[in-house]
Amino acid sequence: MLKKLLVAGALAAMTLGASPVHAEFPERTVENIFPWSAGTALSVSQVIAKAMGEELGVSVPVISTPGAAGTKAFITAMNRPADGYTIFDGYVAPLVLQPVLGNADWTYKDFKPLHSAVSNAFSIGGRKGETRWTDFEGLMAYGKANPGKLRYSSGSRNNLPHMVIAKVLQSYGVVAQNIPYKTDGDARKDLKAGVLDFSFVNVGAYLQDKEGFEILLVLSELPGAKASYDGAPSITDMNIDLGLSGLAPMGWTWWLVHKDTPDDVADVLRAAMKRAMNRDDVKEQISRVGFVPLDWDHTQYDEIVGPVAGQLGAMSNALAWEEEELKKLR
């Protein structure tokens, strides 16, 4: 009896010991570390994660890890083993913008790309029935005549919409007060209530209440973005040269893994995400929210993200300019 037990134990030990060698990735749950609080963007990541999980044969839960403009999620993911079981939901703010602002010590090159996920265009919007101006040029003229009096929100501070709007204001020489909010929805509520003068409005918010907003300027040169806002004027129409093109003035995320992740593991994830992003049901669900599904694969990461990093770096003084000008007015 004892002998049988010993043999069985030895066989079990051999099986267990051998399993990692022959194991096929993935053997367990792959986690997506998402950098924001629960909301629409998290739901979009869940759509992709669900499809990717179906392709991989394991579940891919999306774990909301908000804090410090998304950098907490990145640091959390970086501290995990580079084994492919942790995916960075690589939003532009923690991936590119925070390093540009000196709040993070990594660059986009420090990660291994899987596949591009989604982009989300945004605009400068006012409320319906505004009597002080009728268009964006009128808003700028008012702002120029009343320095420091206009109040606007980009949701949270020092995020991409804040930087892009500050750059637009800088190009017109308009000084306005940024008011940070915990959620974008709160900012839009106060815009409609007359507490704010203008605010950033993303496509999803516009689609929910087209009658509630007057879209003054679409902050993208892409024709698709202009169409999403029913043909509202864009930076191209205004001949505003922000020095931003492609994805640079937009929110977007590119899913990534730790740079030390083995190539064969990364390839499995890349293939699964590519198949997921090519699925019609996934594209449709993402599009319904007002986000745009992206189809760039990992080979185009440097080509697409590189210029974004360069352009955002070149305009990083806009936030400092806004702060300085407001200080002068106090």
Partner 1 sequence: MLVDSLISGFGLFMTPLALGLTLLGVLFGLLVGALPGLGPLMGIILLLPVAIGLPPVAAMGFLIAIFVGGSCGGSISAILLRIPGTPLAAATLFDGYPMAQKGRASDAIGIAISSSALGGLFGGLVLIFAAPALARVASNFAPPEYTALAITGLIAIAVISDGSLIKGLISGGFGLLLATIGTDEFSTGYRFTFGSHHMLNGFHIVAVVVGLFAISEMAYQCMSGDLLAKPKITVARPGFRSVLTTLRHWKNLLRSSVIGGFFGALPGAGGVISSFTAYAVAKAMAKPEEKYGEGAEGGVVATESSNNATVGGTLVPSLALGIPGDASSAVLIGALLILGYFPGPTLFEQQPEIVGGIFLVYLASNVFLLIAGILATPLFVYVLRVPKVFLIPTVLLLCSIGTYALQASVFDLFVMLGFGLVGILLRAASYPLAPVVIGIILGPLLENNLRRSLLISQDGYWIFLDRPVSALLLGINVLLIAGAIWFAIRQGRKTGDVSEVTGQS
Q: State the residues that interact with partner 1 by CB under 8 A.
A: 31, 37-44, 46-47, 49-50, 62-69, 71-72, 75-76, 79, 103, 149, 151, 156-158, 177, 179-183, 185-186, 188-190, 192-193, 195-196, 204-205, 207-212, 285, 288-290
Q: Residue 69 or residue 140: which is nearer to partner 1 going by CB?
A: 69
The C-alpha angle with vertex 39 and arms to 34 and 45, in degrees rounded to 5, equals 45
Q: Residue 232 or residue 235: which is nearer to partner 1 going by CB?
A: 232
Q: Report CA 324 to chain centroid distance, whole Å.
A: 27
Q: Residue 103 or residue 300: which is nearer to partner 1 going by CB?
A: 103
- Amino acid identity of residue 204, one-letter, is G
Q: Residue 63 or residue 82: which is nearer to partner 1 going by CB?
A: 63
Least Å from the CB of residue 67 to partner 1: 3
Least Å from the CB of residue 178 to partner 1: 8
Q: At what angle do helices 280-288 and 40-56 cross, to 10 degrees?
A: 170
Q: Phi/psi class of residue 26: alpha, beta or left (left: φ > 0; alpha: ψ in -120 to 50)?
A: beta
Least Å from the CB of residue 68 to partner 1: 4
Which residues are CB-neighbours of 194 under 8 A, at least 6 positions away? Answer: 127
Least Å from the CB of residue 32 to partner 1: 10
Least Å from the CB of residue 5 to partner 1: 30
Contact between 116 and 304 under an 8 Å Cβ cutoff? The reply is yes
3-class DSSP assignment, residue 193: coil
| Residue linked to tokens 């879209």 | 215
Q: Residue 221 or residue 322: which is nearer to partner 1 going by CB?
A: 322
Contact between 152 and 301 under an 8 Å Cβ cutoff? The reply is no
3-class DSSP assignment, residue 119: strand
